[in-house]
Amino acid sequence: MSESMRVSVSREIPASSEVIFSMITLPAGHVAMDGSGSLISAPSNHQLHAVGDTFLMDMDRASLGDIPEITTYQVENEVHAFEANRLLEWTVGMVDRPKIGHFYGIRLTPIDVSLTLVENYVDWSEVPEKWQTRISWPVVSANMMQESLARLEAAILSA
């Protein structure tokens, strides 16, 4: 894997891994914590339980400004790694197109019963080269991912 094709940030959040995992396995939690400003809603708002679970997200890509001709659309995400209270990874594809090879993930490492290290990452290493040249890398910057973790912490602390 090319390290230049992976962005990863982490933050200690004062909550148990169980509480955080409950938030990140609910698609509405992804909307609440989105630091890109591109997620609008989660029409398939059911708790994720296992590899193979799918969830839809409505997006407005105009806020990212990386592909001007693509604005509002829907993505279908599929869980491809799941460890209860530890790890959630999902692949992304537009509803009417196949997945292009990137995935997002959130890894939780308990520090103690009320403090968890949360790592948020995106990996584009399996994206075909024809897409790598079309998409301005990195689409998801470390700043956006840090903002996502700050929003996740705020959502958990206000719950």
Predicted confidence at residue 130, as pLDDT, reads 63
Radius of gyration of the CA atoms of the chain, in A = 15
3-state SS, residue 102: coil
User: What pTM did the predictor assign?
Assistant: 0.85
Domain 3-158 part of CATH 3.40.50.720: no
Residues 47-100 have pLDDT tens digits of: 999 999 999 989 887 776 656 666 777 888 999 999 999 999 999 876 666 666
> CB-hemisphere CA count at 13 Å for 65?
1
Percentage of the chain modeled with pLDDT above 90: 54
Q: What angle do CA 2, 51, 4 make, to 5 degrees?
A: 10
Pairing of strands 54-60, 72-83: antiparallel
- Asked whether the predicted pLDDT for residue 156 surpasses 80, the reply is yes
Q: What is the mean pLDDT of the chain?
A: 85
